[in-house]
Amino acid sequence: MPGLFITLEGGDGAGKTTQSKLLVEWLQAAGHTVVVTREPGGTDLGVELREIVLHRRGAMEPRAEALIYAADRAHHIATVVRPALERGDIVVQDRYIDSSEAYQGAGRVLGAEEVRELSLWAAQGLMPDVTVLLDLDPTDGRKRLDSARTRYDRLEAEKHDFHTRVRQAFLERAAKEPERILVMDAAGDMSEIAAAIRERIQNHLPHPA
C-alpha cells in the first residue's frame, strides 16, 4: 500500500497524546495528508465498543474483553485505516496490536501469541510500518494520570502488577522487532523524544519533509 502506518504505544500516562500531536503537526507542516485515529474508538461502532470495554460496570471475562478490542480493530482497520493507506495518506494511530498483546496477552494473562493471532485475524494481517513505544515505569505513569484524571478506565484501574506485566510485554515485543519499534524513555525530555521520533519517521516518508 502506498501510505504509511504509524502507531504509538505505551503504558497509561506515558504521553502518547502529546507526542502524537507534535508528530502530526510536523507531518502536516511538511504537506502530508494525515489521518489521526485511535483504538479503541476510531469509528462510530468503535465509540460504542470503547464505552463498553473501558467503562462498563460489572465483571467482564478476559476473553470477552479481548474480543471486544478485536471487534473494534476489525471494523476500524477495514473502514478507516486501509482506505487511508490505499489513498496514500499517513495514518497516525494511538494504540494497536501491541496494546492487545501487552494488556490482554500479558496483563490478563491470556497469552501473548494467542492474542496476537486474534488481532492479526481481525486486522487481516495489517502491521504498522513504524511503531513508537513510549516506555515508562508504571509508578511514574500512575503519578501522571493522578494529576490529569477524574476517573480511571477499567484497564487503568488495574493493580501495579498488571501494569508491570504490560510494560514487560511491550519491551519484549520491541526486542523482537527492533526494525519496526522505536523505544523511547518516556521520562525523558518531551521535545527530545519528539525529535527522535521525527528522525525515525523521516526515513519512511515518501518525499523528504
Which residue ranges make up the site for ligand TYD (CB under 6 A)? Answer: 12, 38-40, 54, 69, 94-95, 99-100, 103-104, 153, 155-156
The half-sphere exposure of 26 on its side-chain side, counting CA atoms within 13 A, is 19
Q: How far apart are CB 5 and ligand TYD at their closest, in Å?
A: 15
Q: How far apart are CB 177 and ligand TYD at their closest, in Å?
A: 17
> Smaller CB distance to ligand TYD: residue 33 or 139?
139
| CA separation for the pair 186, 181 (Å, rounded) | 14
> Smaller CB distance to ligand TYD: residue 43 or 99?
99
> Smaller CB distance to ligand TYD: residue 4 or 169?
169
Contact 66, 74 (CB under 8 A): no
Question: What is the H or E stretch that residue 190 is in?
Answer: helix 190-202
- Residues whose CB falls within 8 Å of the CB of residue 154, separated by 6 or more in sequence, listed in order: 53, 54, 55, 56, 60
Q: How far apart are CB 202 and ligand TYD at their closest, in Å?
A: 25
Q: How far apart are CB 84 and ligand TYD at their closest, in Å?
A: 18
Which grid coordinates belong to 158? 488495574
> Smaller CB distance to ligand TYD: residue 4 or 155?
155
Residue facing ligand TYD at closest CB distance: 103
Q: How far apart are CB 98 and ligand TYD at their closest, in Å?
A: 8
| CA separation for the pair 185, 90 (Å, rounded) | 24
- Residues whose CB falls within 8 Å of the CB of residue 147, separated by 6 or more in sequence, listed in order: none
Is the bond leading into 40 cis (omega within 30 degrees of zero)? yes
Q: How far apart are CB 2 and ligand TYD at their closest, in Å?
A: 25
> Smaller CB distance to ligand TYD: residue 19 or 100?
100
> Smaller CB distance to ligand TYD: residue 17 or 33?
17
- Residues whose CB falls within 8 Å of the CB of residue 153, separated by 6 or more in sequence, listed in order: 54, 55
